[in-house]
């Protein structure tokens, strides 16, 4: 909690106010630049520098700091026409929610993965009440029951975005919804894994896990009622897919991950250098060569980040990075470029990352 609070302390310091914050249109208070929708290349770079500075507070180890889901929503807000084409009412709900979340600098987590107990079955075929689905609907909204993953930082967040990153099939409409809820919503249960921090001997012995453990969690919705003004996708498998992949939601959240990686990799290389200094091996040719290679890799990541921006595009009034320069699945080596369970294959081919 102190680590999360330190992020807001950092952005509130007088010397950091201009770097870290901006004033949204129609507001009188400053909020984090993570909520800024760049209208130019210069604004995109300024936003990136703010996110790098924020990542530096945790040496790049807080993977789900508040700027991550904020970035996903920024990308979706930029692509609001995707929602308007399917449902003007749901588009208005997302616009209103983005306005609320950005102007109040909300700390959001998200659950966008469905649990899959039986791997040979699609999500719609899992045991009843395992995967979160719509179980009722009335004039006031929908009622959802079941589980979603992985609510990283949910124990610290103000609200949760519920959605589907992985495409759903026709016939899975009951699973095809997206909404936002406060973390204290009635019936919302956070089932967190054990804390690494709780098992840390001390900050000296566990300098990272004692401070930067974000606690992944499964979130179970025990007949949670969601009002219509918080529902962005209702029973629409196509819009569920489009929410991340036809807007800039997926691109912007991965852009944030790349920004954090640029900070984390520099920390790790700096740590390697200090280790060699401590044991007196820095000047051994093979060691110095390896340190040089690591430094070159850090420069490569920085260059990729700059490349995303420099080769970005203007879409309407917004400036967006080149989304083809990064693929989250490829970086995590989970993509095999094949179609499974009716879901489309990855279109990006990266031979080496």
Integer CA distances (angstroms), 45 to 41, 42, 50, 225, 259, in order: 6, 5, 9, 40, 11
How far apart CA 30 and CA 102 sit, in angstroms, is 10
Pairing of strands 159-162, 108-111: parallel
7 φ, ψ (degrees, to nearest 5):
-65, -45
Per-residue pLDDT at 125 = 66
Q: What angle do CA 211, 212, 214 make, to 5 degrees?
A: 125
Question: CB of 226 within 8 A of CB of 232?
Answer: no
Q: What is the mean pLDDT of each run of 10 residues along the chain (353 residues)?
A: 92 94 85 93 94 93 91 94 92 95 93 81 74 91 92 90 88 91 94 86 89 88 94 91 90 91 92 93 92 90 89 89 67 38 40 31
How many CA atoms lie less than 13 Å away from 311 in the CB half-sphere? 11
How many CA atoms lie less than 13 Å away from 121 in the CB half-sphere? 14
DSSP 283-299: TSHHHHHHHHHHHHHHH
How far apart CA 186 and CA 300 sit, in angstroms, is 47
76 φ, ψ (degrees, to nearest 5):
-70, -40
How far apart CA 230 and CA 248 sit, in angstroms, is 20
- The domain covering 1-353 belongs, at the CATH homologous superfamily level, to Butyryl-CoA Dehydrogenase, subunit A, domain 2 (2.40.110.10)
Close Cβ partners of 249 (under 8 Å, ≥ 6 residues apart): 72, 73, 75, 76, 79, 243
Whether the ω angle into residue 150 lies within 30 degrees of 0, i.e. cis, is: yes
User: Three-class SS of residue 179?
Assistant: strand
DSSP 106-160: --EEEE-B---SSTTS-GGGSPTTTB-EEEEEETTEEEEEEEEB--TTTTT-SEE
Integer CA distances (angstroms), 110 to 35, 141, 185, 198, in order: 16, 20, 15, 24
340 φ, ψ (degrees, to nearest 5):
-135, 145
DSSP 202-231: -TTT-TTTTT-----EEEEEEEEEEEGGGE
Give the DSSP H or E segment for 331.
helix 328-331
């Amino acid at each position: 909690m102190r680590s999360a609070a330190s992020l807001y302390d950092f952005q509130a310091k007088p010397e950091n106010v201009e770097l870290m914050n901006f004033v949204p249109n129609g507001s009188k208070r400053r909020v984090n630049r993570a909520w800024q929708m760049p209208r130019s290349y210069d604004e995109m770079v300024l936003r990136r520098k703010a996110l790098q500075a924020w990542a530096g507070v945790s040496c790049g180890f807080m993977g789900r700091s508040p700027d991550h889901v904020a970035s996903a929503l920024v990308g979706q807000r930029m692509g609001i026409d995707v929602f308007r084409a399917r449902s003007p009412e749901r588009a208005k709900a997302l616009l209103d929610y983005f306005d609320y979340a950005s102007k109040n600098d909300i700390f959001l987590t998200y659950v966008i993965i469905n649990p899959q107990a039986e791997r040979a079955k699609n999500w719609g075929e899992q045991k009843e009440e395992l995967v979160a689905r719509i179980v009722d609907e009335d004039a006031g909204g929908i009622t959802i029951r079941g589980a979603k993953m992985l609510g990283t930082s949910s124990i610290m967040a103000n609200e949760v975005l519920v959605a589907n990153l992985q495409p759903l099939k026709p016939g899975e409409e009951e699973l095809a919804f997206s909404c936002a809820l406060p973390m204290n919503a009635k019936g919302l249960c956070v089932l967190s894994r054990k804390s690494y921090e709780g098992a840390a001997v001390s900050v000296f012995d566990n300098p990272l896990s004692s401070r930067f453990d974000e606690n992944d969690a499964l979130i179970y919705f025990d007949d949670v009622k969601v009002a219509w003004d918080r529902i962005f996708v209702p029973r629409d498998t196509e819009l569920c897919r489009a929410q991340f992949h036809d807007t800039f939601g997926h691109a912007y959240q991965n852009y944030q991950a790349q920004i954090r990686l640029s900070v984390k990799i520099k920390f790790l290389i700096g740590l390697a250098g200090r280790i060699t200094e401590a044991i007196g091996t820095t000047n051994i040719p093979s060691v110095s060569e390896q340190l040089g290679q690591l430094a070159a890799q850090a420069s490569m990541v920085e260059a990729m980040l700059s490349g995303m921006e420099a080769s970005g595009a203007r879409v309407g009034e917004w400036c967006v990075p080149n989304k083809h320069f990064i693929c989250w699945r490829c970086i995590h080596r989970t993509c095999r470029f094949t179609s499974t369970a009716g879901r489309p294959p990855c279109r990006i081919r990266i031979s080496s990352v």
